[in-house]
Structure 1
Amino acid sequence: MRWKVHGERALYDTPWVRLRSLDVQQPDGARVDYTVVRLRDVAVAAAVDGERQVLMMWRHRFVTDTWAWELPMGLVEDGEEPARAASRELEEETGWRPGSLRELVYAEPAAGITDARHFVFRTDDARRIGAPTERNESDRLEWIPLSRLAGMITRREIVSSATLVGVMSLLLDISAAGG
């Protein structure tokens, strides 16, 4: 069953979010207006060290007024490749530079209402190059043992969907690798 889009009109635009009304035909033949949110892509970096720890940021999200651990992440700029954005965000937010990156997982967190795409990358060879240059991202950085992640999820210490997808994929990746 496939929906067909006959047209799209802008309802609201900012550099962060675009709200659109789509003229769609549903599989049963009905034509309806369907509101969607168009967002820029997000790149996420999971830096893992030789001691089976992942670099995370403790941060406040004012929209939901919550504190939680997150992986470094940010918007993919126009014309920028997601891997480059993940590398840039890791460096800006933590002061660590990846030597290499490989895609860990791709996700569409709410495909029924938004076109948001999340690209999560893993690096095992990040090196410290200095202090974070982005001063508005987190209160502190910490290398978290992978063995603690499941409990942190259960306790709602990790709530961001991009981080949840990233750390769960990281745990699957570690498990699949046999350790």
Structure 2
Amino acid sequence: MEWTSYGRRRVYDSPYVEVWLDDVDIPGVGRVDHHVITMPKASTTSVVTDDQGRFLLLYRHRFITGRWGWEVPAGWAEPGEDPALAITREIEEETGWRPGRVVPLVEYDALAGISTMRFHSFHATECEQVGVPTDASEATRIEWLPEAEVVKLLASGEVADGPSLAALAYYLGPYRLSQ
């Protein structure tokens, strides 16, 4: 069943998010104003691993949820920027490590029922430490953790960030099984 759209109007916009009201007819429901959140910039995430099977993670606080947790490096791609180049930049800015190889992992719609937010996830390897993170606001700690510890963090809820959960779970499951 496909919805019919009769137009939209912008409620709010900024360089990071836009909120729209779409006038839609939903089969079986009727005509309603449906909120839609659009993201002007593409989102990127990365699972960063080394040749010892460790994962590079950031420990940080998220203001919106009030929670501390472990996350993968992530960030925005500027309009027109290749997402693979954007995540390479973000990894270095957030961790001080420069990946030598970045390959696509998975792409997905994070909130398909209400948002255009699309994530481009990558697997980054062959990292070289080039300095300290240039964006000090990103993390309290940056650590290389063994796979067994990452699995424990996932199972215990210490990785609560959706993009990190999706990227790590995909890497540990379908991605590795298909290699």
Which interval holds the TM-score relative to the shorter structure? over 0.9
Displacement of 1:101 in angstroms is 0.9
Does 2:15 align with 1:15? yes
C-alpha distance in 2 between matches for 1:114 and 1:141: 30
Q: CA RMSD in A?
A: 1.5
The ranges of structure 1 where at least 4 consecutive aligned residues each deviate by more than 4 angstroms after the TM superposition are none
Aligned twin of 1:41: 42
Aligned twin of 2:157: 156
Specify the code of the residue in structure 1 equivalent to 2:160: V
Question: Which deviates further from its counterpart, 81-90 or 31-40?
Answer: 31-40
TM-score w.r.t. the length of structure 2 is 0.93
Question: Which deviates further from its counterpart, 65-74 or 147-156?
Answer: 147-156
Q: What stretches of structure 2 of length at least 5 have no aligned partner?
A: none
C-alpha distance in 1 between matches for 2:126 and 2:157: 29
Displacement of 1:86 in angstroms is 0.7
Aligned twin of 1:59: 60
Displacement of 1:41 in angstroms is 2.0
C-alpha distance in 2 between matches for 1:90 and 1:4: 41
CA contact (8 A) 1:44 1:162 kept: yes
CA contact (8 A) 2:55 2:150 kept: no
C-alpha distance in 2 between matches for 1:55 and 1:29: 46
Question: Which deviates further from its counterpart, 158-167 or 77-86?
Answer: 77-86
CA contact (8 A) 1:45 1:89 kept: no
C-alpha distance in 1 between matches for 2:117 and 2:75: 12
Displacement of 1:25 in angstroms is 2.2
- Tell me the percent identity: 35
Q: SS of the residue aligned with 2:32?
A: strand
Which digits, 9 at most, give the CA deviation of each residue in 1:97-129, with x for residues without a partner?
111211111121211011101111001212111
Displacement of 1:145 in angstroms is 1.2
Aligned twin of 1:99: 100
CA contact (8 A) 1:146 1:171 kept: no
CA contact (8 A) 2:23 2:32 kept: yes
Q: SS of the residue aligned with 2:6?
A: strand
Does 2:164 align with 1:127? no
Question: Which deviates further from its counterpart, 28-37 or 14-23?
Answer: 28-37
Q: SS of the residue aligned with 1:164?
A: helix
Aligned twin of 1:75: 76
Displacement of 1:150 in angstroms is 2.4
Aligned twin of 1:110: 111
C-alpha distance in 1 between matches for 2:99 and 2:74: 14
Q: SS of the residue aligned with 1:91?
A: helix
Q: What stretches of structure 1 of length at least 5 have no aligned partner?
A: none
Q: SS of the residue aligned with 1:11?
A: strand
CA contact (8 A) 1:102 1:122 kept: yes
